[in-house]
Amino acid sequence: MNGALIVTWGSNVPGREAKGLEVFGKALAHFDELAKKGRIHGHKEYLTLTGNVDQLAGVMIIEGPVEELVKIQTEEATRTLLIEGASIAKNFTATIASGGDEQTLTQEIGLFTKTQQNLGYM
């Protein structure tokens, strides 16, 4: 099953802008290394151009097998980066989602439908 670890952040905590760039660089290097090792499919980063950038200034999407993403998110190196990110940016989140390809979406929608049917809702 494929998915993504989706990391989002808002504006910097005032006075921590330089440290924010440092942590962002460390995160890029960390996920580059995981991609080279074949543990993730890759990662992409986006900076928001519209909306409330205090709430959502950027997004990092790390794609790979969900099982591996769960392992990666709980490893000390990744947890340290997540703590650092939460320390320098407002509204910091890290969420694992499934999908990204037709097979995974079909599987997840099938499980949802089956569960809803078993509950008598469909």
Q: What CATH number is associated with residue 84?
A: 3.30.70.100
Domain that holds residue 42: 2-118
CA angle, corner 94, sides to 107 and 44, nearest 5? 80
Backbone phi and psi for residue 120, each to the nearest 5 degrees, phi listed first: 85, 15
Q: Which two tokens stand for residue 117?
A: 């049917």
How many residues belong to the chain? 122
What is the pTM assigned to this prediction? 0.92
Confidence of residue 2 (pLDDT cuts 50, 70, 90): very high
Between CA 58 and CA 43 the distance in angstroms is 13
Q: Which two tokens stand for residue 76?
A: 């000390």
Q: Please give the tally of structural domains in the chain.
A: 1
pLDDT digits (tens, 9 = 90+) for 41-71: 999 999 999 999 999 999 999 999 999 999 9
Q: Treating both helix axes as pointing N-terminal to C-terminal, what angle do 66-74 and 76-88 enclose, rounded to 10 degrees?
A: 70
